[in-house]
Amino acid sequence: MDLDDNEAIKRKIDGPLGFFLAELIDDAVFFAARRSSGTLLEVMISTTAMGGLLAAGSVRRPIPHGKMITFQGDELFIPPGAFPECNRRRARGELKLLPVRWP
């Protein structure tokens, strides 16, 4: 499934609109647990794809701490404006998604 503006709006909980990837699996588990039947996918991003995403407006940064939670790693924030770039790179095989087990 491609990243999609309408889907992002429908699934937004809080914070800015977009798609977020957590660097560390424990941080990702927190966000999966916010969803009903959330799951975990590992996303492998090639160096060139990462360059394209950053050029399109994506940002790697520490995950903003919420009340009751301190995150350990960074996030890659992909704003809606970068969705087409992300979808193109994925179609070319420069982003690969794999299920991951936890714990």
Does 21 contact another protein by CB under 8 A?
no
Region 57-76 residues binding another protein, contact defined as CB under 8 A: 63-72
Is the C-alpha dihedral spanning 30, 43, 54, 89 positive or negative?
Answer: negative
Q: Which listed range, 2-10, 32-40, 52-60, 78-86, lies at the site for another protein (CB under 8 A)?
A: 32-40
Q: Which residues of 70-95 are buried (b: 16+ CB within 10 A; e: fewer)?
A: ebeebbbbbebebbebbeebbeeebb
Range in contact with another protein (rule: CB under 8 A) among 1-9, 28-36, 51-59, 84-92 = 28-36
Total chain residues near another protein (CB under 8 A):
31
User: Residue 46 corresponds to which tokens in the numbers above?
Assistant: 């090639």
